[in-house]
Chains A and B, each alone.
Chain A
Amino acid sequence: MKDVVIAGVGIHPFGRFEHGYREMGELAARGALADASVGIQDVDMVFVANVGAEMAKGHNVVDRIGRTGVPVINVEAACASSGSGLFMAAKMVESGAADVVLCLGVEKAPRGFIASSGFDQWQIENGLGVNPMYFAIQAQELVAATDATVEDLADVSVKNHRHAVDNPHAMYRREVTREEVLASKPICPPLTLLMLCAPNEGAAAVVLMSRKEAERRGVAAPVTLAGLGLVSRGPDDWFVPAPAYQAERTSLSARAATAALEDAGVTVEDVDVVECQDTDAASELIAYSDLGLCKPGDEAALLRSGATALGGRIPVNPSGGLLSKGEPLGASGLGQVHELVQQVRGRCGSRQVTDARVGLGHVMGAGHNSCVVVVHR
């Protein structure tokens, strides 16, 4: 990615709220605009990521802020929606088609299981259209193929919940114990309720600029959007909602990570802090090897070493991750970017990763898509 900067970030906390998605989106968007010291009149183009709201959702949010006549484009790609929106926004700036782009992710998801993730009717009626079942299959395969145990899965949840205590934007800010996680309601073995993230509500936004534009405007704390990798399903990938997979399968996340790091011109060893798609506890462990933080098979060892906890060598999900924040589908990816930008700016208070310079965010969603983003100060 050439000369694209994140000039500002904004967030609406993740949780459950009385007000609607329009208000949430407005708050996050206004936050990002203020952080970048620009107004809606300065914006050349808007991308809005969302999964479940109404028609012309982005337009309905932007209308609350201003009527400037610029293009507003809605983007949907399940959990990777805001990653996809960011990809579009960044490419617009990089190509010179726009100097200032607002990118917003927003969601107000209903409680409980996500009702439709693209399953066929026969899967749904026969009890096979179940997201946590897919996560459980991944978890079982991880436990079978490596030395990871159910206790390790619980410990991912314990770690991320500990991190969230200091995150005012997270839904759950209470520490949990391994025993509590293991004793929570079983959903799909080996996964219990506290090993799964809850779909919820929230919004996050960024303002992107060309480096030249940011310099011209004297943006206070620009962060470089160094690399982006966005991939969809290849022949040997597998995720929700596919009913079958190849015995030897490949990883969307790994390809997205390789592309993003290459785009950024850095290696994974340069990364100081990671926010990853911990839809469930096993997904975080799988991400360790997919993103290159460890070799396949060493996921549990990396967790047990303490490396991925705050204070460790490569903290993962210092925000508390989706396990603690909850997952507003359309907003989750930009929520990660918000955290990473504030981390490399050194503004995360008691959950600050010491001297964080390079951050990596990772989302993966139904329909088979993954986005990895690399930012640095």
Chain B
Amino acid sequence: MSDELFGPGEPGDPTYLKGSVCRACGRAEFPRRAECPACGAESEPVDLEGPARLRVSSAVLAQPPGSKVQAPYGVGVAEFPQGLCVIGLLVGEPAAGATVEVVVHEPYPGGRIFAFREPGFLPAVAI
């Protein structure tokens, strides 16, 4: 599934989301669609790589059912220049309004998903 959602990379590497844009009305979608859900015209693949603007910064503080990610963890909404807002996990604690990039993330051992991170963010290292 992750292959269909975002590009390649190791955890921490910048990547992109696999979206689509309608050839007729220009609406962007994520995940990728072959045809536009609004007008039915053919859509073409587009890589949503940002930089994006973090529109919402929140968190999940109680453990949700089925989640392999342990709460608490940060979640947010990144608005891409194509006019599409995507919900994703956050790396670090970027505030709303921050510029973020898409990165490959390991939210639990062995897991792979996209996440949003401020460029230049360095994780705290335990000494």
Chain A residues engaging chain B, CB cutoff 8 angstroms: 112-113, 115-116, 120-122, 124-130, 132-133, 136-137, 140-141, 144, 185-190, 235-236, 243-248
Contacts and interface: CB of A to CB of B under 8 A. Distances in A.
Interface string B38-69: 11000000000000000111111110111111
13 contacts: A115-B65, A121-B1, A122-B113, A126-B69, A126-B107, A127-B73, A127-B107, A129-B67, A144-B55, A144-B56, A243-B31, A246-B27, A247-B79
Nearest to A186: B61
A130 B85 contact: no
Contact of A244 (B71, B75, B84): B84
A140 B86 contact: no
B67 A244 contact: no
B57 A140 contact: yes
A128 B56 contact: no
A244 B56 CA distance: 13
Interface string B1-32: 11001000000000000000000000111110
Interface of B: 1-2, 5, 27-31, 37-39, 55-62, 64-69, 71, 73, 75, 77, 79, 83-89, 96, 107, 111, 113
Contacts of A246: 27-28, 83-85
Contact of B71 (A120, A127, A248): A127
Contacts of A189: 58-59, 61
B59 A188 contact: yes
A125 B88 CA distance: 12
Contacts of A126: 67-69, 89, 107, 111, 113
A246 B5 CA distance: 18
Given A124-B66, A126-B69, A128-B88, A136 B58 contact: yes
A220 to B, nearest CB: 46
A244 B65 contact: no
Nearest to A136: B58
Nearest to A139: B58
